[in-house]
Amino acid sequence: MLLAFQLFLVLSIALVNGAPLSISQAELDQFEFFAQYVGAAYCYDNIHGTSNTVACSAEGGHCPSVESIQPTILKGLRKTNTAGYIAVDNTNKLIIVAIQGTSIASNPIDVLTDLDLIRVKTDLCCSANTNDGCEIHSGFWQAANDVFPLVEMNISLALALHPDYKIVTIGHSLGGAVAALLGAKLRNCGKMVDIYTYGQPHLGSIDVSNYIQSPSPTHGNNYRIAHTNDVIPQLPEHDWDNWDHFYPEF
């Protein structure tokens, strides 16, 4: 799984509202590190909470930088449409929420979720002035809401013990969309959250993207990472009902 993520690292530019911006080797190294965290979200023991620390090599994965620091798994996430885990990284002072993408073998309902192009009006944008009702892909919104109570509760427990730790939500593909929404919901609860997504599809309307983009970096930074030729970040198509992305794009 991580071999696919490593393809992202050939990129050396970021796009901020469509304008190119150079990025550093340190940023690329950071993207690879968090890609290993999200790659581990595809491993059975991590998402089912049967492992005490984040690990994936035993299941054919590749996350040596993560395994070497032995982050503690607080909670495996396996609820309806969403799979992943919550972990505490004491080396880097992080609380990690990692969400896996579509896995036909372990999570076949995600395939149906991905194909659902219905958008629903939501309360994510709170009191912000919106033109389109803050509409979000219905499957992504449901998946985020299904797991949010567990995420919020475990993060609160972790912060009580580690108040100076940073919260990071991470996801790949479908999981990237869910991770972005979880990060936004946690920000709405007053948390500082960095969001990293890999190969994330469009979330919903322009208002949603603007809302997630607007508080950065006051409430956390956004890192939306995509391979140039990956079709998933281009779906659903922007020209079809104004599906949109938040920036920056790396």
Q: Tens digits of per-residue pLDDT, 60-69? A: 788 999 999 9
pLDDT reading at 171 higher than 90: yes
Local confidence band at 105 (pLDDT 50, 70, 90 cut-offs) = very low
Interatomic CA distance for residues 192 and 135, integer angstroms: 23
pLDDT reading at 72 higher than 70: yes
Question: Mean per-residue pLDDT for 30-49?
Answer: 93
pLDDT reading at 165 higher than 80: yes
Most confident of 4-13, 25-34, 88-97, 237-246: 88-97
Q: Do 207 and 242 form a contact (C-beta atoms < 8 A)?
A: no
Q: Tens digits of per-residue pLDDT, 52-62? A: 999 988 887 88
pTM: 0.85
What are the structural domains of the chain? 22-234 (3.40.50.1820)
pLDDT reading at 221 higher than 50: yes
Question: Mean per-residue pLDDT for 178-194?
Answer: 95
Interatomic CA distance for residues 42 and 244, integer angstroms: 27
pLDDT reading at 73 higher than 70: yes
Question: Mean per-residue pLDDT for 67-74?
Answer: 96
Task: Decide which of 118 and 52 is more confident.
Answer: 52
pLDDT reading at 38 higher than 80: yes
Residue carrying structure tokens 């919901």: 185
Count of Cβ atoms closer than 10 Å to residue 180 Cβ: 28
Cite the beta strand spans of 17-121 per DSSP E: 19-22, 72-79, 82-89, 94-99, 119-121
Which three-class secondary structure state does DSSP give residue 246?
coil
